[in-house]
């Protein structure tokens, strides 16, 4: 069993479902999970939101957050994941935004920002985690590494022993 099949088996055991909000990965997170037999019961939907306008329109990412933090930032990834969670009954939302090339002088190529929102908590409040990772390789290699990372971290952050991540949902978040 490969690692992604392990994630799928874990999600099945825990009765977890996924929605993705993907920019740089452009649907690869959802596609990677969909490659596993039986993934139909694990994946609700995927939002591919490459442009800033799509992030705003489909996921409610605020213009102010994008302007203050850059598109490749954890605050944008968090708003993307929260927007996806608000538009899906899935128990987990994962998002990705980043750069693969030297298109931004302030952000090194391969920089990827992620957020995970877990909404199946007894108190009804989401648990939110975010991280930034830098991958190397060509454009496709970075995107594949990013998609794999997003899925593999589900098991890590789902563990009840994990701290709450220190991230609170914005007041406009609706479960």
- State the pLDDT at residue 171: 44
Average confidence (pLDDT) over 102-111:
90
CA 32-152-123 angle, 5° bins: 110
Instruction: Report pLDDT digits (tens) over 64-102.
Output: 999 999 999 999 999 999 999 999 999 999 999 999 998
Q: How many CB atoms lie within 10 A of CB 165?
A: 18
Round to whole Å and give the CA distance between 134 and 104.
Answer: 14
- State the pLDDT at residue 122: 73
Is residue 173 situated within a structural domain?
no
Is residue 166 situated within a structural domain?
no
- State the pLDDT at residue 138: 96
Predicted confidence band of residue 173 (pLDDT cuts 50, 70, 90): very low
Instruction: Report pLDDT digits (tens) over 26-51.
Output: 999 999 999 999 899 999 999 999 99
130 - beta bridge partners?
Answer: 115
Predicted confidence band of residue 160 (pLDDT cuts 50, 70, 90): low
- State the pLDDT at residue 72: 96
Range of the domain at 8: 3-158
Is residue 174 situated within a structural domain?
no
Our count of domains for the chain comes to: 1
- State the pLDDT at residue 166: 47
**Taking the model in full, what pTM does it have?**
0.91
Is residue 171 situated within a structural domain?
no
The domain that contains 66 carries what CATH number?
A: 3.90.950.20
Quick check: 20 and 94 in contact, CB under 8 A? yes
Is residue 73 situated within a structural domain?
yes
- State the pLDDT at residue 109: 95
User: CA separation (Å) from 96 to 6, 13, 25, 37?
Assistant: 21, 25, 7, 24
Is residue 151 situated within a structural domain?
yes
Is residue 164 situated within a structural domain?
no
Is residue 172 situated within a structural domain?
no
Q: Decide if pLDDT at 170 tops 70.
A: no
169: helix, strand or coil: coil
- State the pLDDT at residue 123: 76
């Amino acid at each position: 069993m490969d690692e992604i099949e392990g994630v799928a088996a874990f999600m099945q055991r825990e009765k977890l479902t996924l929605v993705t909000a993907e920019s740089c990965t452009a649907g690869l997170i959802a596609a990677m999970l969909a490659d596993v037999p039986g993934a139909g019961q694990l994946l609700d939907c995927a939002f591919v939101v490459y442009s800033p306008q799509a992030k705003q329109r489909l996921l409610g990412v605020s213009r102010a957050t994008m302007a203050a933090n850059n598109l490749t930032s954890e605050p944008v990834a968090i708003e993307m994941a929260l927007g996806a969670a608000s538009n899906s009954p899935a128990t987990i939302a994962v998002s990705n935004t980043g750069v693969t090339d030297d298109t931004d002088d302030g952000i090194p190529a391969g920089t990827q920002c992620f957020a995970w929102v877990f909404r199946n908590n007894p108190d009804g409040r989401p648990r939110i985690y975010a991280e930034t990772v830098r991958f190397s390789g060509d454009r496709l290699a970075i995107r594949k590494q990013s998609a794999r990372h997003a899925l593999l971290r589900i098991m890590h952050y789902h563990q009840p022993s994990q701290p709450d991540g220190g991230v609170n949902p914005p007041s406009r978040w609706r479960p």
